[in-house]
Amino acid sequence: MQLDDLVTMKTGVNQLRLKDSSVDLYGYQDLVADLGRSVAQSETAEAAASEKSYQVVVGDIVFSTLQNTASIVTAETAGKVLTQNFVRWRIKHHQIDPRYLCYCVNQTDAVKRQLARFLEGSHVANKLSLKTLRTLEIPVPSHEEQDLWGRLYFNLQRQATLQERLVALQTQLLRGLE
């Protein structure tokens, strides 16, 4: 199924067009941090959230057009403003689990091959366009299978983040003992 059939898409704002320079911007570090946080199954984009707003809400899926990575917005990054290097996805119908969609985009060979093919011959900073993203073919298995893959993927991401934190704390502790 094409991605356009599963989600609505909105590109972030050009930073030069922001009137308020004190706005908190959503960056790639936020995306990576969101990937490493726990995401409850019930966290879906808030219904009251405006489609016109560039601010992200808990449950939005954010895709980096430069890194080709997707994550689900958590409470820690909600309210930040997306820049033009990101696209916000919101699930249209409950045909696809947001965690599974992130797994699919970030990890599956079929989707990675499509993304690589889209970028062939591209000279514009290897950035995917909204038009191209709309045609991305996403495999849609049963809801049970989506839930299983999505939970497994985010649990592994969370575990990797915790492991990195543990190593950093151990290093800090050892340096303090010297």
- CA-based angle 95:144:36, to the nearest 5? 85
| pLDDT reported for residue 42 | 47
Q: Please write the tens of the pLDDT for every residue from 64-122.
A: 999 999 999 999 999 999 999 999 999 998 899 999 999 999 999 999 999 888 888 76
Q: Please write the tens of the pLDDT for every residue from 124-144.
A: 556 788 999 999 999 999 999
The model's confidence at residue 172, banded by pLDDT at 50, 70 and 90, is confident
Contact 118, 49 (CB under 8 A): no
User: What residue type is 101 in one-letter code?
Assistant: L
From the options 2.40.430.10, 3.90.220.20, 3.30.300.30, 1.10.1270.20, give the CATH code of 3-177. Answer: 3.90.220.20
The model's confidence at residue 51, banded by pLDDT at 50, 70 and 90, is low
